[in-house]
Amino acid sequence: MNRHGTRAQARLVWRPAGIIIILALAVSSALVWSSHSATVTAGAATADTFTFVADADAYVVQASAQSNYGSSTQLLACLNPLERSYLRFTVAGISQPVVHAQLVLNAMSTNSGAGLHQAQDTTWSESAITWSNAPSFGTTVARSAKFTPGAVGIDVTSLIGGDGAYTLVITSPNNTVDRFSSRESGAASAPRLVVTESPPPTPSGAPADPIRHIVIFFQENHSFDNVLGRLCAANTRRTPCDGVTTGRLSDGTTIPLARPPDIVPDGVYSTTAQQTAIDGGKMDGFAKLGSCAQSTGYRCYSAYQQDQIPNLDALATTFAVSDRTFEQSPVPSWSGHMELASGTLDGFTGLNPMYNTNQTPSPPPQGRGWGCDSNEDSLWLAPGATVATEEPSCIPDSGLDPSVYPNGGAYRPTPVQHVDTIMDRLDAAGLSWRLYANNYIWAICPTFADCIYTSQKTNLVPTDRFITDAQNGALPSFSVLLPSGGANGPTSQHNGTSMAAGDNWIGQAVSAVEHGPDWSTTAIFIAYDDNGGFYDHVPPFSPSVGIRVPMVIISPYARPGYTDSSGATFASLLAFTEHTLGLSSLAGADAAAYDYANAFDFSQTPIPGVRMVQQAIPQAEQQYLTNHPVDLDDGT
């Protein structure tokens, strides 16, 4: 939406490997592509956000003072050897005061942080700049937080005053080289300047954003094609979505995506497994995983039919679908839930925590779940390091009472640093939130010491309370609805559980909102935390993200039958929350993430709810589920 409540005309530009870039504004005089979207603030005019891609970038090296590296796909910064990177942006189209500006880089390395400077000279040439002729620059004006591969945001609000050309210089205080993608690496990873201008007064009659309640329904372990592929391939929605009913093997042959049983087959989807399946973007390596080999009948090459998931099918048909939402990182559950709350892995490599007895002194007794009170470890990579170490699976908080929590909430000393969460932002804004969770292992709060060891813990409530809150008009501003157990077994749709039981739960929870007082002010996102090892045909838009997952967007103001094909990750859920509720961004990928703005139309006639149904689970299957409970500590 633009500031007048109408949707900006966008141009879809297709790139190789299925990447989609939305271009709404072109600054042709400087050959700079920029995108224009709106940052929605509840009850106010929309604040316009512009994204400008660098029109020139290059690094320079003191030891090769006459050499030019303007054609490199990387930008480097290092203290010894001395290397710096120069970037130039041309900002145009800003008509209101700038309220926020952020430089977004795609990091290719891990390090403790980079420094940022401004140079006044903006006339340098990418193809001619060297150490000898590079513009001089001033003192450090901003620093990044420590970073791992992926998006890195640096606040440059103080430098961007409006339209004009800007030269930014990246330096490093480290002897380990900082590596970032240059604009030559492609549009998906090129340096970007994201500028938000203040909203003008709301014109008379312009529609305001009515959303006051955000619900993230976080299910388990399915790819997009596995859940919505058949619906999209049938082409019965108002706007087409990208799904298939066949999959490709590594030898180039295609096989049908079979109808799976109701009990979800096993899968493998660790970081290594996902990289094997993605196979450099060819998406043909799934059968190389033991759980999906020919001997298993290629069981990950499967797609649920509409009669197996009638509630999700009805919601995806009636409301909006994102067919370009990917895991923020190619990681299993613990890390995916961490990113949903904080937008970052904070140095952890993605492995689910394990109880580590191979240390002296011995750890305390193993606790519940995977977080700070589990007394478990996970692999963590220090900035600049190449070898990971086992550290407590806990995001510490040095603000806790050191006499009670000497390690910031971790069970032993830890080099892991504190990061804020969306819960912290909500608390600071005086907004309500709850994590609805019965299963402690997925509960999110225990991973963060400033949640599990503070009053925030009271916002961790039983899953069934969601139904009561929805029926009574008592939904908080922000909810994460996590899987539970039901009359027919777990509702997570995790491998080894009933898909129908999960669909029944989706229907029950959504129906409670649809028939409750908060329906007219609620947006529900049904998402899945990872791909579960199941086939998908769309390659990730960046090497740092994981496999595509389902995303259904439900609201009276969701565009009916709409397909949102803008590139998104779980960070997009944080971005939507921040923009809708007027929160400042976190230090992670959310700062530059697309926020599903195109999926909503606040000027439309509100859509009524959809009738939900309940499937019967055969008695024999119920007995099987009882006799074969899922081991949630299986590393997934």
Direct distance between the N- and C-terminal alpha carbons of the chain, in angstroms, rounded to an integer: 38
- pLDDT at residue number 21: 26
> Is residue 185 over pLDDT 70?
yes
* Interval 306-317: pLDDT, tens: 999 999 999 999
Residues 183 and 317 in one domain: no
The CA-based angle 575-460-363, given to 5 degrees, is 100
358 and 505 belong to one structural domain? no
Domain co-membership, 524 together with 600: yes
Looking at the domain assignment, is residue 284 inside a domain? no
Q: 145 lies in a domain?
A: yes
Both 374 and 460 in one domain: the answer is no
| 407: in domain | no
For residue 201, what pLDDT band results from cuts at 50, 70 and 90? low
Q: What is the pLDDT of residue 625?
A: 87
Does the pLDDT of residue 88 top 60, yes or no? yes
Nearest to 249 by CA among 292, 274, 284, 290: 284
What distance in Å separates the CA atoms of residue 212 and residue 576, rounded to the nearest whole number? Answer: 12
- Same domain for 475 and 605? yes
Dihedral pair phi/psi, residue 169, rounded to 5°: -125, 130
pLDDT per residue as tens digits for the range 546-575: 999 999 999 999 999 999 999 999 999 999
Which structural domain, as residue segments, surrounds residue 387? 347-394
Mean pLDDT in residue range 391-412: 96
Q: Are residues 492 and 590 in the same domain?
A: yes
Q: How far is CA 469 from CA 438, 459, 557, in A?
A: 16, 13, 21
The verdict on 379 and 497 lying in the same domain is no
Mean per-residue pLDDT, 398-409: 95
pLDDT tens track for 278-321: 999 999 999 999 999 999 999 999 999 999 999 999 999 999 99
What per-residue confidence (pLDDT) applies to 194? 87
Number of other residues whose CB lies within 10 A of the CB of residue 259: 12
What would the pLDDT profile of 460-476 be if each residue is shown by its tens digit?
999 999 999 999 999 99
Q: How many domains does the chain have?
A: 3
511 torsion bin: left (phi>0), alpha (psi -120 to 50), beta (else): alpha
Claim to verify: residue 359 and residue 431 sit in the same structural domain:
no
| pLDDT above 70 for 27 | no
Question: Per-residue confidence at 139, pLDDT binned at 50, 70, 90?
Answer: confident
Q: Do 522 and 539 share a domain, yes or no?
A: yes
207 in any annotated domain: no
In a domain, residue 253? The reply is no
Does 635 have pLDDT greater than 80? no
| CA–CA gap between residue 344 and residue 146 (Å, rounded) | 11
Average pLDDT over residues 223-237: 95
Q: Give the per-residue pLDDT at 244.
A: 96
Pull the structure tokens for residue 520: 């007219």
pLDDT of residue 205: 54
pLDDT digits (tens, 9 = 90+) for 508-547: 999 999 999 999 999 999 999 999 999 999 999 888 899 9
pTM of the model: 0.73
State residue 153's pLDDT score: 83
The answer to whether position 373 is within a domain reads: yes
Q: What would the mean pLDDT of 166-188 be, rounded to a whole number?
A: 92
Q: Domain check: are 364 and 484 in the same one?
A: no
- The overall average pLDDT reported for the chain is 88
Residue 630 burial class via C-beta count within 10 angstroms: exposed 0-12, middle 13-18, buried 19 and up: middle
Distance CA 268, CA 263 (A): 16
Same domain, 219 and 353: no
Please indicate, yes or no, whether residues 622 and 492 belong to a single structural domain of this protein.
yes
